[in-house]
A and B are shown apart, each in its own frame.
Chain A
Amino acid sequence: MTSLSYSIIAAILLCVPNLVQAASSNYAPVAINLPAFSKECLYFDLVSHDDSLVVSYQVLAGGNFEVDFQITAPDGTEIVNEKQKKFSDFLVRSYGLGQYEFCFSNTYGTALKKIEIVLELEKGSIASEGEESPEDIIASNSIEEIDRSLLMITKTMSNLRGREHRNKSTVESTGSRLTWLSLLIMGVTVGISVLQALIIQFFFQSRSRNYV
């Protein structure tokens, strides 16, 4: 191990973040739970003017499936302020370097909301540096296009997942409404008929009292 190889390792390490970010485009949504009337904030630091953030959310479960969402720039200005939306998609370009704040508020309704979030740096397309022959450039372009299409597929499937959850919740609510309303109707039917019988009895009893 010579000092030369140490310096080579150091040079490679400095290049590694670019390699790492250029190599894989990660779209991995995670879900957080937001109790009623609470606010949850996540933060992200932007360190370079060329970076942009992929931000998207959808409400998977709870109540009317809507939340409030705000994005605050590092200097305090509010970039985005959305009220009561079911899902949304953003690409936040650099409004200045520093800490960006992403807040979800569950202000309407008493249901616990489950929100699926994607909050990542936009990884550049898998482009490479260095000289390439024309065939390689064509191949690279095709690969980039396939990559973009795959990202679109992933996003579409993510939206589908949100719709599935909403459909499932509708079906479950239909089932429970059916049960409770049926019981209510049966109770009301029996109650009304008993009441009718009693009232007719009452009328005829008082009538017979008068005439007998």
Chain B
Amino acid sequence: MLFDNFLQLIFLWLYMSSKVSGFYYYGNGGDRKCFSKELSKETLLNIQYNVQSYDENMKTYVNANNQEFDVLFDVEETFDDNHRVVSQKMVPSGLFTFLAIESGEHRFCISPQATKWMSKGKTKVTLEFLIGKDAQIDSKKKSSFQTLHNKINILNEKVLEIRREQKLIREREALFRDASESVNSSAMWWTIVQLIVLIGTCAWQMRHLRTFFVKQKVL
């Protein structure tokens, strides 16, 4: 029974890894493309990706095999001075998993690198970003109670995600308030400095002209 489930999962993974239903873009081998995403602490992000290379003979894009391309994944935390958290080399097609350690904006960069001599092959990269745990890997359950249970679990996941996002919003709001307050106080200080400079200049001007007129024997 356990072996059956295990085999199902293996087949599922193989099937899903070649059929990514996400958007794709065209590029060249070696191009580094970056996507940013706001993640709150301990959010699981899965990127399902598939890199295809252009086959000259068949004049179409085919799945790249492991010997031709390596895909390098970088994850940087842009809120922490672009501190690189993860750098991982993976096969041309699969699932990249990332668990956010801190809340903030993370930048995910993908660069397909050719391992052989042809470094300028044209590539087509398909990506799908999935948040949260895989709530869908579930064989068809007959009992409707089970399906209701599953659906409510999915709803629960979504609500938790909304809560996390709201925490992020609160943190950003605090930063924004700090920025507002600092601009407010700098408005006051700059005005005071301007007043001082104005009065000082006035005083200097009067004194300078007075000495000049005294010299000129007008005063």
Chain A interface (Cβ < 8 Å from any Cβ of B): 1, 5, 9, 12-13, 15-17, 19-21, 23-26, 28-33, 41-45, 102, 114, 119-121, 126, 128, 130, 132-133, 136, 139-140, 143, 146-147, 150, 153-154, 157, 160-161, 164, 167-168, 171-172, 174-175, 178-179, 182, 185-186, 189-190, 193-194, 196-197, 200-201, 204-205, 208
- Chain B, 147-204, CB within 8 A of any chain A CB: 147-148, 150-152, 154-155, 158-159, 161-162, 165-166, 169, 172-173, 175-176, 179-180, 182-183, 186-187, 190-191, 193-194, 197-198, 201-202, 204
B37 contacts which chain A residues (CB < 8 A)? Answer: 28-31
Q: Are A190 and B197 in contact (CB under 8 A)?
A: yes
Given A19-B136, A19-B140, A32-B34, 10 new contacts (CB under 8 A): A1-B7, A13-B15, A42-B25, A43-B25, A150-B162, A153-B162, A154-B158, A179-B190, A190-B201, A197-B209
- State how many residues of chain B have any CB contact under 8 Å with chain A: 72
A136 contacts which chain B residues (CB < 8 A)? Answer: 144, 148
A26 to B133, CA, bound (A): 12
Q: What are 10 A-B pairs at a CB distance below 8 A?
A: A19-B138, A28-B131, A30-B35, A33-B34, A44-B22, A120-B22, A143-B151, A164-B173, A178-B186, A197-B208
In the complex, whether B8 has a CB less than 8 A from a CB of chain A is: yes
Chain B interface (Cβ < 8 Å from any Cβ of A): 3-4, 7-8, 11-12, 15-16, 19, 21-26, 34-38, 105, 128-132, 135-136, 138-140, 144, 147-148, 150-152, 154-155, 158-159, 161-162, 165-166, 169, 172-173, 175-176, 179-180, 182-183, 186-187, 190-191, 193-194, 197-198, 201-202, 204-205, 208-209, 212-213, 216, 218
A179 to B37, CA, bound (A): 32
